[in-house]
């Protein structure tokens, strides 16, 4: 495996966290472990909440040269000075996100258990594809990504 193809750690924030404590907790993790990217994945759709969280985490990640992407909110990427977006709708929004954010932004795509969606997302310009879940979960519709998909 080439050096640039070595797997890297990608962290996902909790869906809700205490803004007065979480940035320092994240800083401690980033100072201790080599992390490539952090995804801001809040359950909230409140723009003020998202912006305040993104501002706080951007300071932490930028100081450590770690990429910060936001889940779903393409329009907030440039406004908040983030590195990219993680899309949750398979391949449907990848081309739109790539066009809006340019070639330098990170565009990731969750494709559930669909090999077809994964291929389409890659062809549309996704930098990475994620699949899942791999085990039983009460989330979503119960579809699981088969091991051979990976």
Range of the domain at 128: 88-135+142-150
The string of pLDDT tens digits covering residues 1-33 is: 445 678 889 999 999 999 999 999 999 999 999
In a domain, 82, yes or no: no
Name the helix (H) or strand (E) containing 98: helix 94-101
Number of domains in the chain: 2
Model's pTM, two decimal places? Answer: 0.88
Domain edge (last residue) among 36, 55, 77: 77
In a domain, 48, yes or no: yes
**Predicted pLDDT of residue 112:** 87
118 and 66 assigned to the same domain: no
The string of pLDDT tens digits covering residues 88-124 is: 999 999 999 999 999 999 999 999 888 999 999 999 9
Contact residues for 129 (Cβ-Cβ < 8 A; gap 6+): 108, 109, 110, 111, 118, 121, 122
The bridge status of strand 67-71 relative to strand 84-87 is parallel
Domain edge (last residue) among 56, 77, 98: 77
C-alpha to C-alpha distance for 98 and 79, rounded to whole angstroms: 16
40 and 60 assigned to the same domain: yes
pLDDT confidence bin for 138, thresholds 50/70/90: low
72 and 93 assigned to the same domain: no
């Amino acid at each position: 495996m080439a050096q640039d193809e070595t797997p890297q750690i990608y962290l996902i924030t909790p869906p809700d966290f205490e803004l007065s404590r979480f940035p320092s907790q994240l800083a401690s993790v980033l100072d201790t472990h080599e992390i490539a990217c952090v995804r801001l994945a809040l359950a909230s759709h409140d723009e003020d909440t998202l912006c305040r969280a993104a501002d706080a985490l951007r300071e932490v990640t930028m100081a450590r040269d770690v990429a910060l992407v936001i889940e779903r909110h393409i329009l907030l990427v440039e406004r908040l000075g983030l590195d990219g977006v993680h899309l949750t709708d398979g391949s449907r929004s990848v081309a739109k996100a790539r066009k809006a954010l340019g070639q330098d932004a990170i565009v990731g795509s969750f494709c559930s258990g669909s090999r077809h969606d994964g291929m389409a997302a890659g062809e549309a310009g996704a930098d990475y594809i994620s699949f899942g879940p791999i085990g039983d979960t009460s989330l979503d519709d119960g579809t699981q990504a088969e091991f051979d998909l990976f």
